[in-house]
Amino acid sequence: MGSYLYALREIRRRKYRTAGNIAGFVMAVAALITLVTAARGWEACTAAPMKAIGTDIILIYSAPIAPSREGCFIANHLFAYPFNQTEIAKIADVSGVERAVPILMHRRSAVVFTGIDPSETETNAVLPNAVVEGRYLGPDDGHVVLIDRENAQLNNLTVGSTIEYIKSFEVVGIVDVGATDLIKSHIYVNLPVAREVLPGSNEGLANVALIRVSDPRKVDVTAEALTNDLPGATTITSSDMATIASGVINMGEATAWNISIVLSVVAILFTIKSQLGVVAERKREIGILKAIGWSNSDVVKQIVIESALKGVIGGVLGCVFGYGFAWYVLYTMGGELGGALSFIAIDPILLTIGFGISVIGGITAGLYPSWKAARLTPAEALRTI
């Protein structure tokens, strides 16, 4: 206990140097917690809208592949050339693809109209669990539609209302779809009905494929395989969608860890330099202690304890500040995609890792200066008196 009390006294004696050392650890720990949490939150809130429709990748063709048809439909903000539904089998055969579902999207003025296969209840542009009023589409339904809740409120539509999109349709359900604006529609109908209603000859055609991968960790690998195996295909993943929605490129978790590690190393090096300065200032004191019987190990232990305590204090404060910053970032992150706090929480394991890095960093920073202090002989140290 005496060693710790002595260490605390020495820390209080050198307030500015101590504050600088602790600040380094606080910044490193807070940055680690904030950056990694932000990376995880960004990934979660950008992937969630696509996950809500059971989709990992959206595939379109950016060049014509159906010779019987000229031109393309505008699928929301995308120019998506129609392809024959037989292409779905080719897509499903690509390594990493678990499921591929065709839809036919069309935009007229500001209204997006989408044909779906209602038998696909795991991956689709709209799923049964999105129905908030009325019912889902059935496989034998004709000119009936599901409409988006916002569209219903804007146009005062309810179940049983009639809506016009080239032809007349009856509203049988109102849905609230958790997809981003890139794939979200105002009106959903059965796929054969959409083919019949839309202009031109659309027999057997779709223009968007919704793809679920077998391993969510390999979305980018599967997307690359799709573009390699299917000439003219363009893939959109959740990270691509985040870039489209926000106009920025998101930072991955690996990058966040790398930045945090660099900051931690800088903090340790700064503390080593500071501790060396402490040793130089305390030559006389160390000489007296060794003259009255302190061993080399006692000197090493004392300086390492002082450095470790700075790491402990820095770790605690870093976790407090890091938690606060991370909470704020998650709360404000996402914009139209939704706040990241809706999808993830701040990881207590991450807080523990941050605290551990600070403590270990403090101990590490004290090793070399303490070894150098222990090499001082009483005579050499006392010559400074």
Alpha carbon distance 38, 228 (integer Å): 32
50-88 in b/e form (b: 16+ CB < 10 A) is bbbbbbbbbbbbeeebbeebeebbebbebebbbbebebb
Alpha-carbon distance of 210 to 57, in angstroms, equals 6
pLDDT at 339: 63
pLDDT recorded at residue 94:
92
Radius of gyration of the chain (CA): 31
Q: Do 164 and 210 reside in the same domain of the chain?
A: yes
Mean per-residue pLDDT, 219-225: 90
**Whether the predicted pLDDT of 248 surpasses 50:** no
Q: Is residue 371 part of a domain?
A: yes
Domain boundary among 231, 264, 282: 231
Does residue 88 sit in the same domain as residue 24?
Answer: no
Instruction: Show which of 231, 264, 281 is a domain's final residue.
Output: 231
Task: Quickly list DSSP for 276-316.
Answer: HHHHHHTHHHHHHHHHTT--HHHHHHHHHHHHHHHHHHHHH
First to last CA, the chain: 29
Domain contains 200:
yes
pLDDT, one tens digit per residue, over 296-330 is 777 777 778 888 888 898 899 999 999 998 888 88
54 assigned to some structural domain: no
374 lies in the same domain as 226: no
Q: What is the pLDDT of residue 67?
A: 54
> What is the reported pLDDT for 247?
43
Residue 44 has pLDDT above 80, yes or no: no
Mean pLDDT lowest for which of 8-22, 216-230, 299-313? 8-22
The pLDDT > 70 percentage for the chain reads 77
Query: Taking 60 as the threshold, does the pLDDT of residue 374 lie above it?
Result: yes
Whether 85 and 42 map to the same domain: the answer is no
Bigger pLDDT: 63 or 40?
40
Q: 213 and 78, same structural domain? A: yes
Read off the tokens for 56.
């990992």
Residue 181's pLDDT is 63
| Residue 203 CB partners (closer than 8 Å, separation 6+) | 195
Give the residue among 316, 325, 321 at the shortest CA–CA distance from 358: 316
* pLDDT tier at 19, thresholds 50, 70, 90: confident
Q: Are both 225 and 258 inside the same structural domain?
A: no
Residue with more model confidence, 198 or 67 = 198
Distance CA 250, CA 292 (A): 60
For 201-219, what is the mean pLDDT?
A: 87
Cα-based angle 241, 40, 334 (whole degrees, multiple of 5)? 50
- Domain residue limits at 314: 2-48+250-382
Q: How many domains, the chain?
A: 2
Question: What's the mean pLDDT when you consider all of the chain?
Answer: 81
191 plus 43 within the same structural domain: no
Residue 245 lies in a domain: no
Asked whether residue 171 is assigned to any structural domain, the reply reads: yes
Say if 69 falls within a structural domain: yes
331 has pLDDT over 60? yes
Summarize pLDDT for 169-180 with one digit per residue, the tens: 999 999 998 666
Residue 244 resides in a domain:
no
Least trusted range by pLDDT, from 225-239, 266-280, 316-330: 266-280
The identity of residue 164, as a single letter, is E
Is residue 287 one of the residues assigned to a domain? yes
Q: Flag whether pLDDT at 279 surpasses 70.
A: no
Residues in the chain: 385
